[in-house]
Amino acid sequence: MRGHRLTAPMRLVRHLVLLLGTVAMLAPFVLMVATSFKPKEEIFAAEFHLLPQRLGAAENYHEALTQVPLLHFLLNGAIVTAAIFALQVLVNVPAAYALAKLRFRGRATLFGAVLVCLLIPYQAIALPIYILFYWLGLLNTYAALVLPFTISVFGIFLMRQFFLGVPDDLIDAARIDGMSEYGIVWSVMAPAAIPAIVAFGIFSVVAHWNDYFWPLIAVGDLGLYTPPLGIAHLKLNGEGTAYGPLMAAATIVIAPLVLAFLLAQRRFVEGITFTGLKG
């Protein structure tokens, strides 16, 4: 930080600009929550009030929860994101360790492949995977929702960058103490990489909790719907104008993420800072 001081009016301008940015970012969420509290006639009223004149929260939330099995969708979301994250860690940590710390023929090529994969959007390979899963008979299962994401090249890249910073001496010490390579991965590297794992976890959970594209393709069974599919289903099912319940459902769906973020905020910022430094 350089210690230049701005004049008072300049500082005011700076804060105004920041404030505008905040309002722009927050407005949709505020509207969402406010709308979820309003009764139907108020939502379509000509004049706009931010705060509801009459509280319609009970009926909106009741409808959101009963019109479709929203809690079931939330459970599906939790199962799918947790499974994806667990499998990703299971794959990423050893892969990143090998790429960062082991010397073997073809390591540079493999890491190059990881970097290339970072450039491929998953929408591009969604159809081939769909066809593959069709042949395997996996469509319309939890497996279909989870398996395509078990190998996260982003995660491998992130963990590798972190592992590069772990001193080689630590690994040699573990070898002398008699640990196997997998022992080193899980009892030395993984505990050292908790901040990176948490940071990656947030990226992963947010991405897959909110994912609409792949679940839309992969499952058709209502019992397997994830929360975003559920909201869409509610929208299509209702008259298409039931904004109150829709916003209530949306609020319910993002609430767990916001809560998780608030709880893990410090770790998250740590993780981002460190990736900024090392990456």
Partner 1 sequence: MQAVSPSAVGMERPEPRGAVRMTGIAKQFGATSVLRGIDLDIRAGEFITILGPSGCGKSTLLRIIAGLEPQSAGTVAIDGVSMDGLPPDRRDIAMVFQSYALYPHLTVAENIAVPLRMRRLTRLQRLPGARTLPAVRRIGSSIGEAVQAVAATLRLESLLGRKPAQLSGGQKQRVALARAMVRQPKAFLMDEPLSNLDAELRVHMRAEIAQLHRQLGATFIYVTHDQAEAMTMSDRVAVILEGELRQIASPGELYRDPDDLRVAQFVGTPRINVLPAVATAAGIDVLGLPIARQSGLPVGMKLQAAVRPERLAVAGPGVPGRVVYRENLGSDLFLHVAVDGASTAVIVRCDSSALDVTEIGTSLRLAIPPDALLLFDLDGRRLRP
**Residues forming the site for partner 1 (CB under 8 A):** 167, 169-170, 172-179, 183, 188, 191-192, 194
Residue 96 or 188: which CB sits closer to partner 1? 188
Tell me how far, at minimum, the Cβ of 260 lies from partner 1, in Å.
Answer: 23
Tell me how far, at minimum, the Cβ of 181 lies from partner 1, in Å.
Answer: 11
Residue 57 or 190: which CB sits closer to partner 1? 190
**Would you give the DSSP letter of residue 90?**
H
Tell me how far, at minimum, the Cβ of 192 lies from partner 1, in Å.
Answer: 6
Tell me how far, at minimum, the Cβ of 174 lies from partner 1, in Å.
Answer: 8
Alpha helical stretches, state H, the chain: 8-37, 40-43, 57-67, 70-101, 107-118, 122-136, 142-146, 153-164, 168-176, 181-184, 190-192, 194-209, 213-218, 227-237, 243-278
Report the distance separating Cα 272 and Cα 197, nearest Å.
11
Q: What are phi and psi of 201, to 5 degrees?
A: -60, -40
Tell me how far, at minimum, the Cβ of 147 lies from partner 1, in Å.
Answer: 28
Report the distance separating Cα 141 and Cα 214, nearest Å.
13
Residue 39 or 183: which CB sits closer to partner 1? 183
Tell me how far, at minimum, the Cβ of 37 lies from partner 1, in Å.
Answer: 46
Residue 128 or 178: which CB sits closer to partner 1? 178
Residue 158 or 188: which CB sits closer to partner 1? 188
Report the distance separating Cα 93 and Cα 185, nearest Å.
7
Residue 5 or 266: which CB sits closer to partner 1? 266
Q: Which of 128, 138, 190 is nearest to 162 (CA)?
A: 190
- SS3 category, 245: helix
